Amino acid sequence: MEISQEGLQTLAAVLREGTFDAAAAALHITPSAVSQRIKALESSVGRVVLRRTKPATATPDGEVLVRLAKQWELLASEARSELLGGQTAQDTESRIRVPIAANADSLATWFLPVLARMHAEHPVAIEILRDDESQNGRFLRSGEVLGAITSDPLGIRGCAILPLGAMRYIPVATPAFVERWLPDGPTTEALSRAPMVQFDRNDYLQHDVLAAIAEQPVSPPISYIPASTEFHRAVELGIGWGAVPQVQIADALRSGRVVRIVGHHVDVPLFWQYWKLSSPILDTLTELTVAAAAEHLTPAGSRVR
């Protein structure tokens, strides 16, 4: 089985651009040439690698090849930088593209300084794909990213996994909100009526907290605020109660702008998963990520306490 670099690059372009025509424009070739390259790749590996939908999507076998294409791009970029004599962080033409996935709360609290240091000290251009930590593994499986912060303790094929610690969340609300909606505490009846803030429809954290403190299932009114800083502000402004990262809400708790609605906290274990590559850039990013997590996250424990 021979896998051509040309075929891998074309496959990655089709998936990135969404269609054969768009990939052809990006590669400066004809759509017919794109189709021929994909057919040649499929013939070489003996598998269908693309679903011809709009946008085009990879089959499970195609995902394996996309990962290979991305790995090749990274290693080739690093080799090019070394051959050019070692580019400094100020050089722009030879920056190494590093796509990674991270959850919004990590970006808003402890992870962004890691990325800033990478940009300051290395010739990289980091692209962040953002989703809930429970969803980020799909970016690794599809080959879209080199590494991801996830809440999944199960390693993905071809990836290494390191525990980072846990992000601690505190269920809070404003004093005025508590007085209006929870005057007798977080009873089941009160929780069924009290508005709750949720990040998006993939955010199961709030429902985990709700299930832990309510005596029976309830369905409160929900406001969706899909941004970490704005979620925090929404709770502080009294839109609803919500479980907010401890590091993010600490000042508001100290000042009394918000109060705990229960004594529980929620620990969400986080992991760094990354491709097993002999890549200095990826190794450095991994080291910085693990070190920052050790400084800012809590030791992983049970999910709700």
Q: What is the pLDDT of residues 195-215, one digit of tens each?
A: 999 998 888 889 889 988 888
47/53 Cα distance (integer angstroms): 17
Residue 84, pLDDT > 80, answer: no
Q: Which pLDDT score, from 0 to 100, does residue 82 have?
A: 66
Structure confidence at residue 296 (pLDDT): 92
* Average pLDDT for the chain: 87
Q: Read off the pLDDT of each residue in 157-175 and give the average, rounded to a whole number.
A: 93
* Residues in contact with 273: Cβ distance below 8 Å, sequence separation at least 6, in sequence order: 137, 140, 147, 148, 150, 152, 155, 156, 159, 160, 161, 162
* Banded model confidence at residue 1, pLDDT cuts 50, 70, 90: low
With contact defined as beta carbons under 8 Å apart, do 105 and 47 qualify?
no
Instruction: Check pLDDT > 60 for residue 234.
Output: yes
Share above pLDDT 70 across residues of the chain, in percent, rounded to a whole number? 92
State the pLDDT at residue 305: 57
pLDDT of residue 3: 82
Asked whether the beta carbons of 21 and 14 are under 8 A apart, the reply is no
Question: Which one of 2-6, 10-14, 70-74, 186-190 scores highest in mean pLDDT?
Answer: 186-190
**167-267 topology per CATH:** D-Maltodextrin-Binding Protein; domain 2 (3.40.190)
